[in-house]
Amino acid sequence: MNEDMPLLVTREGPVVRATMNRPARRNALSEAMGAAWDALLAELARDASARVLVIAGAGGHFCAGLDLAEVAGDEAPDRMLVRQQARNRRTGARFAGITTLPQVVIAAVEGSCHAGGLGFCCAADIAFASASARFCAPEVRRGLVPAQILPGLANRTGRAAATRLVLEANVIDATEAARIGLVHAVLPDAAALEAQLQATIAAVLDGAPGALAETKGLLAALGPLAPEGYAEAGAASFARTASGAEAAEGIAAFGAKRRPRWARRG
């Protein structure tokens, strides 16, 4: 796949597939990919002929989260603070935009589904995983916070399970992800995952388009994922941590494949 196109969008009739396409970086979310997502979501919000959106990743991975190479930098702290706050604000708006689409959104998860990848998974209406999938909210180990994924994560799994995920920051497998409600089903391999996708798409397309959109509206009317003002507070919190010393150390340690200084024992 051509990595010059960080988001590959294909369409078969009413079914749109958006494939995150940076396999060498486990489909980490870059600024360019984010902009492509925003353009697609704006288009889909106006497209009554599209009925299903499938979110997937190229190269056997879903999404490893934010590209940390774009977080680290040597710019002045005040400039970094402004840049990271704006970026995190866009991230929150992007996940919110997925949840409010009139289309039925299905996530097909293979391999890494970390950090912002969890945001895409939880923003989908329905999520399936192959047995290879691994899930993690590693932000605190990088000196960051899971600002914009937390509402969707808590909504999908419940607050207790989400709390453990974001505070321990451990990797869980697909079976555990299904147990806590992060995904709806686990399939043994990629072929079985695709078969499940096709079955679910067929079931969705048997529903009336207007009725499905109205049903999604009713689900949204049950209550917001986060209280008013949360997204902005989360963006500010992410910016503070991303521009601080802990993030600098955490990201450096991650790149060097070593433990950060605060984690050294003895």
Instruction: Please say whether the beta carbons of 66 and 116 come within 8 A.
Output: yes
Distance (Å, rounded) from C-alpha 27 to C-alpha 266?
36
The count of residues in the chain is 266
Per-residue pLDDT, averaged over 59-65, amounts to 97
On whether residue 90 sits in a domain, the answer given is yes
On whether residue 200 sits in a domain, the answer given is no
* Mean confidence (pLDDT) of the chain: 94
On whether residue 78 sits in a domain, the answer given is yes
Q: Which residues does residue 8 pair with via DSSP β-bridges, in sequence order?
A: 19
On whether residue 98 sits in a domain, the answer given is yes
On whether residue 255 sits in a domain, the answer given is no
On whether residue 203 sits in a domain, the answer given is no
On whether residue 208 sits in a domain, the answer given is no
CATH number at residue 32: 3.90.226.10
Span 82-140, pLDDT tens digits: 988 999 999 999 999 999 999 999 999 999 999 999 999 999 999 999 999 999 999 99
Structure tokens at 204: 């969705």
Q: Specify the number of domains making up the chain.
A: 1
On whether residue 131 sits in a domain, the answer given is yes
Distance (Å, rounded) from C-alpha 31 to C-alpha 68?
11
Range(s) of the domain holding residue 16:
7-191
Residue 148 backbone phi and psi in degrees, to 5: -90, -10
Structure tokens at 17: 């597939």
Per-residue pLDDT, averaged over 204-223, amounts to 95
* pTM metric for this prediction: 0.95
